[in-house]
Amino acid sequence: MSNQELFSNNPLQGVKLEQVVEELVEQYGWELLHAYLQLNCFKNNPDVKSAVKFLRKTQWAQEKVDNFYLYRLKNLPKPDDVQYELPPRDRVIPADHKPGEPCELSFSDAKRIMEKKASKQRARDRKQRSNSSNPWGN
């Protein structure tokens, strides 16, 4: 199977970052994108050109936006663990997975997700602080 066949089903193949940002802004708007992604390029004087410039310089932020594009806007099923380790633009999406309708997003849902992430982060931090020589994490 050739690389062309492997990647032909990935909605990010051949799509420029600028187009991804434009589609996301058109569908959800700057405020909702900031609520979900927590990227300041979507909050402080947002415009497509400056957002793309920031995302090109910041690999983790670009992957975050690409993931959001694939799994919220294109509504694809989440990838398996092996594929999730790859950058979004390098993932092989099975042929039976076709893009669907964009997800309905809300500010209350974004807040709930951020609270859940913060809770998980606090638990990870507590776990890292405690070890066999210091079980109380002080």
Question: Could you tell me the pLDDT band of residue 2, with boundaries at 50, 70 and 90?
Answer: low
Say if CB 47 and CB 123 are below 8 A apart: no
| Predicted confidence (pLDDT) at residue 130 exceeds the cutoff of 70 | no
CA 130 centroid distance within chain? 30
Token pair listed for 124: 């990870």
| Domain boundaries 3-104, corresponding CATH code | 1.10.720.30
**Burial of 102: CB neighbours in 10 Å, binned 0-12, 13-18, 19+:** middle
pLDDT band at 55 (very low <50, low <70, confident <90, very high): very high
Q: Nearest 5°: CA angle at 2, between 92 and 96?
A: 40
Confidence at 137, pLDDT banded by 50, 70, 90 = low
Is the alpha carbon torsion for 36, 101, 20, 69 positive or negative?
Answer: positive
Top-confidence range, 38-42, 99-103, 134-138: 38-42
- What is the per-residue pLDDT across 13-29, written as a single tens digit (0 to 9) for each? 888 999 999 999 999 99
The overall average pLDDT reported for the chain is 86
- Flag whether the pTM goes above 0.85: no
Coil/strand/helix, residue 136: coil
Sorting pLDDT into bands at 50, 70 and 90, what band is 8?
low
Coil, strand or helix at 134: strand
Task: Decide which of 4 and 107 is more confident.
Answer: 107
